[in-house]
Amino acid sequence: MAWRAGDPVRVVIHSFKDFRDKHVEALKKAVLDVAGSEFKVDFAFVHIVEKHPLLVFDPGQRQRIPPRGVVVRLGNSEALVAVQGPTEVRREARGFPRPVCVKVHRSSTFTDLEYLSWQALAFSALSWRNVPPPTAPVTIQYAKWIADQPGRRADGAARDAARAHAAHVGRCLGEPHVRVGVLALTSRAHREVGWQR
20 within a domain of the structure (yes/no): yes
81 within a domain of the structure (yes/no): no
142 within a domain of the structure (yes/no): yes
Counted domains in the chain? 1
User: pTM here?
Assistant: 0.70
Lowest pLDDT segment from 64-68, 83-87, 182-186: 182-186
Residues in the chain: 197
133 within a domain of the structure (yes/no): yes
Residues whose CB falls within 8 Å of the CB of residue 31, separated by 6 or more in sequence, listed in order: 11, 41, 43
pLDDT tens per residue across span 13-60: 999 889 999 999 999 999 888 888 888 889 999 999 988 888 888 888
Check: CB of residue 125 under 8 Å from CB of residue 164. Answer: no
Q: Which domain holds residue 137?
A: 8-48+102-193
Containing 151, the helix (H) or strand (E) segment is helix 138-152
CA distances from residue 35 to 6, 75, 92, 109, 170 in whole angstroms, order as listed: 11, 32, 49, 16, 21
75 within a domain of the structure (yes/no): no
Nearest CA to 73 out of 17, 114, 123, 13 is that of 114
pLDDT tens per residue across span 125-157: 765 565 555 677 777 777 777 776 655 555 555
